[in-house]
A and B are shown apart, each in its own frame.
Chain A
Amino acid sequence: MSADAGAGVELLRGMLEIDSPSGGEDELARFVETALKESGFAAYRDEVGNVIGETGTGGDGPSVLLLSHLDTAGRALPVALTDGRLHGRGAVDAKGPLAAMIRAAAARPDFPGTLRVIGAVEEERLSRGGHHVAATLPAPDALVIGEPSGWSRVVLGYKGKIDLRYTVSRPATHSTNPAAKASEVAAEFWRDLQEALGPERDHAAFGSPAATLRGIEGDLVRATLDVDCRVPVGYDPAALEARLRQRLNGGELTVVRHVPAARVPRTDLVVRELSAAIRAHGGVPRPTLKTGTSDMNTVSERWSVPMAAYGPGDGSLDHGDDEHIEIAEYLRGIDVLRTALDGLAAALHGTATAQAQRPETGPC
């Protein structure tokens, strides 16, 4: 393994050895900030704890943002490097993609503009970091979201998400009383919700809604359901809520959060440059739509810019107890990102130069 590859593996291993659940990313953020500075970036933390690294020649050149996240989901796992695999919580979601972005950008200090890498906080919860980034930084000219697509896949979109909470109470009584108990009413609401989503509901299809019962607790007197619905592009959350409010059966419904679906066309500039980079490294690009949700959804509420999600790692290992990344896969992901950055620089630099030179024609 080359020194460059070895340094990349050590960076990821160091990140994996720091537990970073949502809301507990501070130690990892400090580690990443130091790693960025040691790699030549100007690095800092923002108000919510995101870590931001900047490189490139700046000036009037284009800006490219590589945005991934620091936090992980699931219990901490032992870190081990065995048989070409690096095991640990976040190996694929999303410390592998974030480390790959850092290594790729670090190799391009002469990027003809501003190249930012951001490790955001709380993506796995309410995307607090991603919201803050989109609210406080200027929209980039191109954006790559760091998630585990796999080295030869480019993600064009994610389903949207509606988080719901249903709570119902019933008077205390003996269990043999024929009246419906709170727990039974809640179970009935779950069935009604699935029916309200329609017979086409499907977690495996990008174009169909689907729901997951994330949590259920209660007893005969009081019961609560936490549900996340994944919804396609153009889905009307108000219509779903209206249908559900007709089936409350005395319960209360709260829409905790709604994030619309995000989708770019396959003609998108970032999709094109990532695809070309995958081909340059011997792969056949696989454009993919994902039925989960990412910070691509979060930032695309504010930014309408070329974007796609990309990162090494097998997404089917997300949040699981066998989370790991193949070292070869990780290193290939870094190579693809470096090549894609070169392609974006070439494609955007001319545009940015032309825009900078274009006389203002609008009203004074």
Chain B
Amino acid sequence: MGGRDVTTTCPECEGPVDLAGDVRLSEITQCPDCSSELEVVGLDPVKLALAPEIEEDWGE
């Protein structure tokens, strides 16, 4: 708990993205510049990727 804050780069617009302490894999955040939804896909160093689009499907 209480890891250090991290600033990394948006893979879409290359703007800065701040992540507060204790970053976790698959955490979702939003780029403050381009509003892209981003997923944490690496921790050392912290790496972001565009979060997969939400799909829709029938059934249970």
Contact = CB atoms under 8 A, between A and B. Distances in A.
A204 B56 contact: yes
Contacts of B25: 272, 276, 279-280, 343
A288 B26 contact: no
B60 A290 contact: yes
A153 B56 CA distance: 11
B60 A287 contact: no
A65 to B, nearest CB: 18
B27 to A, nearest CB: 6
A262 B47 CA distance: 31
Contacts of A266: 28, 37, 51, 54
A294 B26 contact: no
Nearest to B25: A276
Nearest to B39: A275
B60 A148 contact: yes
Contacts of B60: 93-94, 147-148, 158, 290, 292-294, 315, 318
A348 B59 CA distance: 31
A206 interface: yes
Chain B residues touching A, range: 10 to 19
A156 interface: yes
Chain A residues touching B, range: 35 or more
Interface string A264-275: 001100011101
Interface in B13-50: 24-28, 37, 39, 41
Contacts of B59: 290-292, 315-316, 318
A289 B26 CA distance: 18
A213 interface: no
B19 to A, nearest CB: 13
B46 to A, nearest CB: 14
Contacts of B52: 284-287
Contacts of B26: 271-273, 275-276, 279, 285
